[in-house]
Amino acid sequence: MSDSPSPKRYTSPEEAAHIYLLPNLFTAGNMLCGFLAIKNCIEARFSDALTAPERADHYLMAVWFILFACVCDLFDGRVARATHRESLFGAEFDSIADTVSFGVAPALMACFLIINPNQSKDIQLVTWLLAFVYLLCAGVRLARFNVLTNPLVPGNEKRAAGGDFVGLPSPAAAGMMASLVLSLSKLLRLTEQKGPLDQALQAWSWVLLPLMLVISYLMISNVRFPSFKQINWNTRTRTRGFIFIIISVGALFALREFAVPLVFLSYIVWGVIRHFFLLKKEETDPAPDDEP
């Protein structure tokens, strides 16, 4: 998602298809994390050799792999821009990796957590349908991003929306769903939930269904979300700001089960509120005159 190509015309297909090692290594790491998340979800669901705590641990490992994929996706585009190694190949490869890590993996995890053998066929069908809707919206979101940032198309996303993302980025969507499972698991452990943890997770995982619907809509909406691309390796900060960042990172690590979903939720809520303020500002600001 973040490895957008530079606005230039390529002299040949070979030049557009250049594979630059460092940024694409991060993209490959993103895809690997998505694959391992799917692997852990399948093992947690279908492996008869696992005990109940081990099944819960596999789901948690899937959550962490999705979050690690978010980190890889955060760095691949930044590394490409910092080293001037952007390419059309990198943009397409990034979208394919995002589809695996932020589309298939969260949808599969939600289905395996929600569906149990005691449910009716209708509930299982609805769950699979909603999971596919989420996957479809993630795919549409990524395809639209590639079109809106293609250097050959005039008026791309950066110029049209001031560098903002149009629609909720798929890493933020997947991170919100995965981190909610992480927070729910920690809460069940703290409250000493009776019974196996994997069954307790399954009993409370119904909250993922309305969340999937909201996130699916936000991904294909026209709501503008900040991209933070102006923050790079050369960004400066004051001493107090630097100390605040260090303290925040420490608190995020110490309270990660609750802080991580709070970060994603804050980003989503802030983006929606900010979007409505931008719309209101556009309505109140007078349009510029055509004549001098």
Give per-residue pLDDT as tens, 213-248.
999 999 999 998 988 766 655 666 667 666 766 776
Q: What's the full length of the chain, in residues? A: 292
**Distance between CA atoms of residues 225 and 271, nearest Å:** 5
Asked whether residue 16 carries a pLDDT value surpassing 90, the answer given is no
Tell me, what's the pLDDT at 183? 81
* Identity at 88, one-letter amino acid code: L
Instruction: Assess if residue 8 is contained within a domain.
Output: no
**For residue range 63-89, what is the model confidence (pLDDT) as tens digits?**
999 999 999 998 888 887 777 777 788
Residues 133-153 have a mean pLDDT of 86
Helix (H) or strand (E) holding 278: helix 256-284
Asked whether residue 212 carries a pLDDT value surpassing 80, the answer given is yes
Number of domains in the chain: 1
Instruction: Assess if residue 292 is contained within a domain.
Output: no
Instruction: Assess if residue 290 is contained within a domain.
Output: no
**Distance between CA atoms of residues 11 and 91, nearest Å:** 18
Beta bridge partners of 224: 166
Distinct helix (H) and strand (E) counts, the chain:
12, 2
Tell me, what's the pLDDT at 4? 46
**Distance between CA atoms of residues 234 and 211, nearest Å:** 37
Give residue 270's domain range.
13-284
Instruction: Assess if residue 154 is contained within a domain.
Output: yes
Tell me, what's the pLDDT at 217? 95
Spatial neighbors of 39 by CB under 8 A, at least 6 apart, are none
Distance of CA 77 to the CA centre of its chain: 14
Say which range, 84-93, 160-169, 196-205, has the weakest mean pLDDT.
196-205
Instruction: Assess if residue 3 is contained within a domain.
Output: no
